[in-house]
Each structure stands twice: as structure tokens, then as C-alpha cells.
Amino acid sequence: MKVALWIVLSVVALTLIVTVIGWLLPREHVARRIGRYRQKPEVIWEAITNVDAMPAWREGLKSVQKLPERNGLPAHVEVTTSGTIPMETVEMDAPRKLVSRIAGEQLPFGGTWTFEIAPVEEGATLRITEHGWVSNPFFRFMSKFVFGQTSTMNAYLRSLATKFGEPTRIEE
């Protein structure tokens, strides 16, 4: 009985410590990753804007449902292994820049991803910049120290490399 009580108290104490540290972390963060591909910018643009084709290549994406446009720009809902996430496009400048925003106001996290495609000698780079926020202090801690704030971007860039049949080349 004493062992069980100590285990429960330890879990409660650890959860409390993690939550307090989470409260001390900033709610908002900025994270960046760059993927290098042997593709033309237009090919990368087609891949990142063709939402209907994304479930075939994006890790963790089960399905996509298009929504009516918002402000003349595309919107959709992503069904992922982590849940349902409404997305809207904020800016499109083909084939250079795409800005997407999580449109779910009731979610415990949110923000934007800015995709910037730049031609380079051997193909093109895709830079993703996340301006994100996490409201729950426990999950803020987990995002920062356990999952990593770039884990979703890394998975996206890896999936894109796999789609192109290329090795993954990710930089900070």
C-alpha cells in the first residue's frame, strides 16, 4: 500500500513540476526548418498546395476535406493521427510563399506556418517557419522538452522528400 501511495504522490509531484515549468515558458514560440530538394520550385509548390493529394504522402495525415474559400483563399480540414485541425490559407504567392493558419479557435494550440520556396543550384529549398502558441502549460512543457517544437515540421519535410524519392536533407 505504501509503494502505491508513493507512486501516486510521485506522479502528482512530477505533473505539478512539469506544469509549473510550463507556466514559466513563453506561450508563443518561433521555430524554423529548411528542407533541400532536387526539384524545381513549381514542383514543390504543387505538392504543398494540392491538399487533395497530401494524405497519400504526408506522415500522420489521414484525410482532408476542402472547405469554402475564406477571403478568396483555400481552406480545409485535416484529419490527422492527433485529431481534426481546420486550416486556412492566409497568403499565396506562387511558387514562392504560402502562409497557412490553424483556424480552430478552441484548440489548445495554434499559429501559422510560412512556407518559403527558393531556387538553388541543385533544385530548391523549402523553409517552414512556425509562429505558434500552446495555451496549456503542461503541453507547453511537453512541446518544448519532449516532442520538440520542430517535430511536426521535420515529419512534413521528411514526408515530402519521400514523396520525391529523395533522401531527407533538413537544416535549421
**Which has more confidence, 164 or 1?**
164
Q: Mean pLDDT for the chain?
A: 94
Q: Residue 122 pLDDT more than 80?
A: yes
Q: Are 29 and 140 in contact (CB under 8 A)?
A: no
Domains of the chain, earliest start first: 2-171 (3.30.530.20)
DSSP-derived pairing of the beta strands 109-120 and 123-134: antiparallel
The whole-angstrom separation of Cα 95 and Cα 64 is 22
Q: Which residues contact 62 (CB under 8 A, 6 or more apart)?
A: 55, 79, 80, 81
Q: Residue 2 pLDDT more than 90?
A: no
Mean pLDDT of the 56-60 span: 95
Q: Are 122 and 143 in contact (CB under 8 A)?
A: no
- Residue-level pLDDT at 172: 83
- Looking at residue 40, what DSSP letter applies? -
Q: Residue 45 pLDDT more than 80?
A: yes
Summarised one tens digit per residue, pLDDT across range 96-116 is: 999 999 998 788 899 999 999
Q: What is the pTM of this model?
A: 0.91
Between the alpha carbon of residue 21 and those of residues 14, 16, 64, 125, 145, the distances in Å are 11, 9, 36, 36, 11
